[in-house]
Amino acid sequence: MYLPTEYIQRNTQTDEALKLLNLYPTRIRGEKKSDFYLKIIKISEEICSALKITSMTLLDNILYCLNRGYLGDILSRKKSSLTEDIKKIEQTDEGDQKQKYSHTEIMYYLIQIGKNK
């Protein structure tokens, strides 16, 4: 199975998640699909840069979980448990492409998206 690390997969899940984040680009009438996809890639790269994510696979997973509603309500969690979870996430080795990303880690990245927005 091939997982992209340099480009985001464009599908319904990523499109809808970008719309939820108000980051989905406007398509100009007559614009080529490839040019529109380049806009999505640019937005994805900006998200990765802001969150210090090195793999588009992780961003794909985050956007998928966001769109599917798997992330839950972070406001209902205790601040102390969230802080502990973030510390655990920051200690993980981000260079390992085979790493399984936990629910908590994805929540951390969404918090960072919110802070940067």
Segment 72-102, tens digit of pLDDT: 554 344 445 555 655 665 565 454 444 556 6
The C-alpha atoms of residue 100 and residue 8 are separated, in whole angstroms, by: 18
Question: 43 or 67: whose pLDDT is higher?
Answer: 43
Q: Name the DSSP class of 92.
A: S
Domain that holds residue 17: 12-116
Q: Which residues contact 61 (CB under 8 A, 6 or more apart)?
A: 101, 106
Q: What is the mean pLDDT of residues 24-53?
A: 90
Q: Which residues contact 11 (CB under 8 A, 6 or more apart)?
A: none
Q: Rounded mean pLDDT of the chain? A: 75
pLDDT digits (tens, 9 = 90+) for 95-109: 444 455 667 777 777
Confidence check: pLDDT of 57 > 70: yes
Directed axis angle between helix 56-68 and helix 12-20, to 10°? 70
The verdict on residue 1 lying in a domain is no
The verdict on residue 17 lying in a domain is yes
Token pair belonging to 23: 């980051």
The verdict on residue 38 lying in a domain is yes
The verdict on residue 22 lying in a domain is yes
Euclidean distance between the first and the last CA atom of the chain, given in angstroms as a whole number:
33
Number of domains in the chain: 1
Contact 72, 20 (CB under 8 A): no
Question: Which of the listed ranges 13-17, 73-77, 110-114 does the model predict with the highest average pLDDT?
Answer: 13-17
